[in-house]
Amino acid sequence: MQNYFTKINRVHNGLTRPLLGFSWRNYSVKYDNITPKINEKIGRNIFLKPNHPINIIKTLVEQHFLKSQPDFKVFDSFHPKVSTKQNFDDLLIPLDHVSRGPSDTYYYDENTVLRTHTTAHQVHLIKDGHKAFLVTGDVYRRDEIDATHYPVFHQMDGVKVFKQGDQKDSGTETLEKHVELELKKDLEGVVRAIFGADSQIRWNVEYFPFTDPSFELEVYFNDHWMEVLGCGVIRSEILKNTGYDTSEYVGYAFGIGLERLAMKVFEIPDIRLFWSQDNRFLSQFKNGEFTKFKSYSKYPACYKDISFWTPSEYNDNSFYELVRDVAGDLVETVKIVDEFKHPKTQRVSKCFRINYRSMDRSLSNEEVDQLQWVVRERVAKELMVELR
Ligand code: PHE
């Protein structure tokens, strides 16, 4: 299946990004792309607020682990600002990997980013001597805009390091095989604790740069298979770099996306709701309970189209980001509705439909017109597109 680490050549204006021998460091791009709207989210820590749906899922997974394996340590207060070394290099993510690009990642400067996954904490925690831990936090990715994509979301990573001899009791021949079986057993347990003891689940082989073998776990839920987590056996090179003798030690690692689980379990239809300060949302949930979300009314939507000719340096994520920066949570979706290349000039024209809707109130026409006007002004100025 396609994941964040397997998407390798996204198409830009009909051109595939060069990959071989290509490094983001040589590419003339802005390494300072954290907008005020994103900045506002840092430190809100909704995942730490009791009775918040993300906190309910987090607590449940932690308690599930601690119940049978009390040696697991829980970390949830690392700042999301990390080095590119922590987020990418330590995890063997290639220098030319798309996920490193400033079109996908928020950069403070060339060497500092907002973490794109909580796996960024894996290596320093192992180096500090921790052998079993869970680490939760907010993660940031520049992405499209719809009901399930938001530039800030939450992940929980887990790691456990095993030693030669641990496999004895299980009767498994090698430590590697033992670790893989323990990983699958532990994660199946968590997923059953959330979706019910008799839930249907399946394992698929996956790819991540930092684990080998790698897997994803899917749960059959509401008539379809849903991917809930990625995991695998930590690549021995990583353990070696942290100082372990890899003939003696093998570890597992996993990463769970908390929004996806919470959206399914509580039937929350739009990912923006997690950031709502509205009591009609917040008062509906209680730690330890799986109550279904009751929609308190859907205010009318209003859409506006925008069309422009794109310059060669253009990328869609920068456009989405700009729309978010102007309209914040008042934008529900941005969809591309038309795209064509001029046969003579080869210039690419795009038309996007921006759907505006507030979750807490009705928007006036004037307000939406004003937002759209600002989007148009800024797109023309900052992305150097030619409006049509
Ligand atoms: N960091 C991966 C992601 O964000 C998930 C993962 C974590 C996979 C740990 C394997 C091991 O998709």
Taking the model in full, what pTM does it have? 0.88
> What ligand 1 atom has the least distance to the C-alpha of 139?
4
pLDDT at 264: 93
pLDDT at 10: 41
Q: What is the pLDDT along the chain (388 residues), one digit of tens a residue?
A: 678 887 644 433 333 333 333 444 444 456 788 999 999 999 999 999 999 999 999 999 999 999 999 999 999 999 999 999 999 999 999 998 989 999 899 999 999 999 999 999 999 999 999 999 999 999 999 989 999 999 999 999 999 999 999 999 888 889 999 999 999 999 999 999 999 999 999 999 999 999 999 999 999 988 889 999 999 999 999 999 999 999 999 999 999 999 999 999 999 999 999 999 999 999 999 998 899 999 887 899 999 999 999 998 899 999 999 999 999 999 999 999 999 999 999 999 999 999 999 998 999 999 999 999 999 999 999 999 999 9
CA of 231 to the centre of ligand 1 (A): 6
pLDDT at 17: 37
Site residues for ligand 1, CB cut-off 6 Å: 3-4, 117, 119, 157, 208, 211, 230-232, 253-255
> What ligand 1 atom has the least distance to the C-alpha of 230?
8
One-letter identity of residue 311: P
> What strand order describes the sheet that includes 302-310?
331-341, 348-356, 302-310, 386-387
8-state DSSP, 149: B
Distance between CA atoms of residues 311 and 294, nearest Å: 45
8-state DSSP, 290: -
Take atom 9 of ligand 1 and give the residue whose Cα is closest. 254
CA of 294 to the centre of ligand 1 (A): 32
Q: Supply 98's token pair.
A: 């798309």
Q: Distances in Å between the alpha carbon of 273 and those of 7, 266, 295, 347? A: 28, 12, 11, 38
Residue of 119, 136, 231, 233 best suited for mutating to test ligand 1, as the one with most atoms within 8 Å of CB: 119
CA of 251 to the centre of ligand 1 (A): 14
CA of 188 to the centre of ligand 1 (A): 16
Tokens 């993660």 identify what position?
139
Residue of 157, 229, 233 best suited for mutating to test ligand 1, as the one with most atoms within 8 Å of CB: 157
pLDDT at 169: 84
pLDDT at 172: 85
Largest Cα separation within the chain, whole Å, is 71
Distance between CA atoms of residues 381 and 313, nearest Å: 14
Helix (H) or strand (E) run with residue 326 in it: helix 316-327
pLDDT at 1: 62
pLDDT at 14: 32
CA of 11 to the centre of ligand 1 (A): 24
- In order, the DSSP letters of 19-68 are -TT--GGGS---S----HHHHTTTTT-GGGSTT-HHHHHHHHHHHHHHHH
> What ligand 1 atom has the least distance to the C-alpha of 4?
12
